[in-house]
Amino acid sequence: MIREVEGPAGAPWERPLHGTLDRLVVESDALATNPLGDPSRRPLYVYRPPGVELDHPKLLPSVYVIQGYTGQLDMWFSRTPFELNMIERIDALFATGECPDAIIVFVDAWTSFGGSQFLNSSGTGRYQDYLCDEVVAFVDERYPTLDHRDHRGLTGKSSGGYGAMVVPMLRPDVWGAFASHAGDALFEACYLHEFPTRARQLRDEFDGSWETFFERVKVTDPPKWEWIELLELYGYAAAYSPDPANPGRALIPFDANGRLIAHIWAQWVEKDPVRMAPRNADALRSMKRIYVDAGRRDEYFLDLGAQAFAAELAKIGVDYTCELFDGTHARLTYRYPNAIRELVTALEP
Whole-angstrom Cα distance, residue 249 to residue 3?
A: 56
211 in helix, strand or coil?
Answer: helix
For the stretch 93-108, what's the b/e string if a residue is b when 16 or more beta carbons lie within 10 angstroms of its beta carbon? bbeeeebebbbbbbbb
Give the tens place of pLDDT for each residue, 192-251. 999 999 999 999 999 999 999 999 998 999 888 889 999 999 999 999 999 999 999 999
Please identify every stretch of the chain with a pLDDT value under 70, giving residue numbers as ranges. none
CB-CB contact of 341 with 224 (8 Å): no
Is-contact 265 275, C-beta < 8 A?
A: no
User: What's the CA gap between 327 and 197, in Å, rounded?
Assistant: 25
Question: To 5 degrees, how large is the angle CA 275–CA 278–CA 283?
Answer: 115
Task: For the chain, give the longest Cα–Cα distance.
Answer: 70
Element (H, E) at 294: strand 289-295
pLDDT of residue 223: 84
Q: What pLDDT score does 8 carry?
A: 86
Specify the pLDDT at position 225. Answer: 85
What is 20-186+272-347's CATH topology?
Rossmann fold (3.40.50)
- The pLDDT value recorded for residue 224 is 86
| Residue-range domain boundaries for the chain | 20-186+272-347, 189-269
Partners of residue 105 on adjacent β-strands = 46, 64
What pLDDT shows up at residue 14? 87
